[in-house]
Structure 1
Amino acid sequence: MESILKAFAQGNLLTAPNRVAHGSKQARAAARLAECEAALTAVLDPPARALLDNLEAAPWEAEDLAGTDRFVYGYRLGVLMTVEAFCGRDPLALGEDG
């Protein structure tokens, strides 16, 4: 189960089409990012470019790992809450008057 949860959290199991609408804020931001990266790359020497690549990759990697952990933890918490609701001593689950 955990491998499926991690794959889902990492976006490897899609639940909806992954499209960006042309002209949307997200599309404009992505275009601006690409323009800035191209301009900066043009003025950097190879060692500086390697440093920039590393700087760009590190936060994404850290966020990806943290996001996966948050998703898996949250999913497990939700399942435990569901189990408690159906199997615990909750009057609603036992059909008692509350």
Structure 2
Amino acid sequence: MRKILEDFYYSNITPCDQQMAPDSEMKRAVDRVSKCEEQLTELLDEEGRHILTRLTRSQQEINSSTALENFILGFRLGVRLMAECMDDNDGDTRIGGEQ
């Protein structure tokens, strides 16, 4: 417990940094998207490339916001689960709620 708190204090915990395994489905999907973007860029004129750049940047913003919200929701769910586990008066009909 102390180690994770120290890492948190020193900003050594960065949940948004992820490493993709080279043989993962995620890596293959990222490679496909990258290849399609390169091919599309070659087909477009300057205005089209500008629009494509704006589109991809906007999608990255959406993805980043979604990832943040999902992280927060997951963290809150974890805290609620822990709080529920600590509740001794949770309706257990056994004496004192203990086994």
Shorter-chain TM-score category? Answer: 0.5 to 0.7
Name the counterpart of 1:7: 14
Query: Unaligned regions of 5+ residues in structure 2, if any?
Result: 1-7
Give the Å deviation of 1:62: 0.8
Q: Does 1:70 align with 2:70?
A: yes
- Deviations along 1:21-78, one digit per CA (max 9) or x if unpaired, are 1xx6555544443333222212222221011011122122112212211221221221
Amino acid at match of 2:52: L
Taking the aligned partners of 1:28 and 1:74, their CA distance within structure 2 comes to 26
Q: How many residues align?
A: 87
Aligned twin of 2:86: 86
Corresponding residue of 1:61: 61
Q: Runs ≥4 in structure 1, deviation > 2 angstroms?
A: 24-39, 94-98
Is contact 2:41-2:49 (8 Å) kept?
yes
Tell me, in whole angstroms, the C-alpha distance in 2 between the residues paired with 1:77 and 1:28.
31
The SS at the match of 1:85 is helix
- Segments of 5+ residues of structure 1 without an aligned counterpart are none
Identical residues among aligned pairs (%): 26
Identify the residue that residue 19 of structure 1 maps to in structure 2.
21
d(CA) in 1 for partners of 2:30 and 2:79?
36
The structure with higher relative contact order (CA 8 Å, sep 6+) is 1
Q: Take 2:98 and 2:26, find their aligned partners in 1: how far apart are those partners?
A: 51
Tell me the C-alpha RMSD between the 2 structures. Answer: 3.3
Distance in 2 between the 1:34 and 1:57 partners?
A: 13
